[in-house]
């Protein structure tokens, strides 16, 4: 009993203090399908919003399902605790939804429309509650690093040979 309560307290404190949680839903294809999600801890569970325009995707997370949640350290980025969650979708404009959305809205960074955020989330997004089922699970082995998805973005090529001299000459003129 004491071990269960200590595990629950560890999950709550670590999740509250972390800016991101890594979540892998039941529909995930393999170990590397976890997603980093911003969240809030509210009324004993993690809450996330997404699957709408301009919001984070929530792949593999479905109401009535479960998910594996890994919490990282906010300062060092290392894994602190992993736990299993039951996933519940909150009904838009219900009392639980309103309470969670008030907290989510206050923590939402870079929102394009802060005034219409609540209505947009009700109309186009899903708000999910991730309730801890098991207080802790074993941390995954390995780094779980995956190659980034393809992108048309490119990196700068090799620096031209004369550039360091040009920059040095400018620095000498200034000072």
Q: Would the pTM count as exceeding 0.85?
A: no
Phi, psi torsion values for 167, nearest 5 degrees:
-65, -40
Of the candidates 1, 13, 133, 5, which has an alpha carbon nearest to the alpha carbon of residue 81?
A: 13
- Asked whether residue 175 is domain-assigned, the answer is no
Number of domains, the chain: 1
Is 151 part of a structural domain of the chain? no
CA Rg value for the chain = 21
Structure tokens at 95: 């009392």
Tens of pLDDT, residue by residue over 46-64, are: 999 999 888 999 988 999 9
pLDDT digits 0-9 by tens, 36-46: 999 999 999 99
Q: Which domain holds residue 137?
A: 2-141
Residue 13 domain-assigned (yes or no): yes
Average pLDDT over residues 68-92: 89
Categorise residue 142: left if φ over 0, alpha if ψ from -120 to 50, beta otherwise.
Answer: left
Domain membership flag for residue 25: yes
The pLDDT of residue 128 is: 97
* Span 113-138, pLDDT tens digits: 888 899 999 999 999 999 999 877 66
Average pLDDT for residues 5-23, to the nearest whole number? 89
Structure tokens at 35: 């997603």
> Residue 38 falls within a domain, yes or no?
yes
CATH of the domain at 128: 2.30.110.10
List, as one string, the DSSP characters of 70-84.
Answer: EEE-TTT--EEEEEE
Q: What is the pLDDT of residue 2?
A: 77
């Amino acid at each position: 009993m004491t071990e269960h309560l200590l595990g629950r307290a560890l999950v709550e404190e670590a999740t509250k203090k972390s800016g991101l949680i890594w979540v892998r839903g039941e529909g995930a294809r393999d170990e590397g399908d976890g997603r980093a999600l911003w969240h809030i801890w509210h009324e004993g569970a993690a809450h996330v919003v997404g699957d709408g325009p301009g919001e984070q995707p929530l792949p593999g997370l479905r109401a009535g399902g479960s998910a594996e949640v890994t919490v990282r350290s906010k300062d060092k980025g290392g894994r602190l605790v992993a736990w299993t969650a039951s996933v519940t979708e909150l009904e838009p404009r219900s009392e639980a939804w309103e309470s969670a959305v008030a907290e989510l809205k206050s923590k939402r960074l870079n929102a394009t429309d802060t005034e219409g955020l609540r209505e947009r989330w009700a109309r186009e997004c899903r708000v999910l509650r991730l309730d801890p089922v098991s207080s802790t699970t074993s941390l995954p082995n390995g780094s779980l690093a995956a190659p980034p998805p393809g992108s048309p973005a490119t990196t700068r090529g090799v620096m031209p040979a004369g550039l360091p001299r040009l920059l040095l000459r400018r620095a000498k003129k200034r000072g």
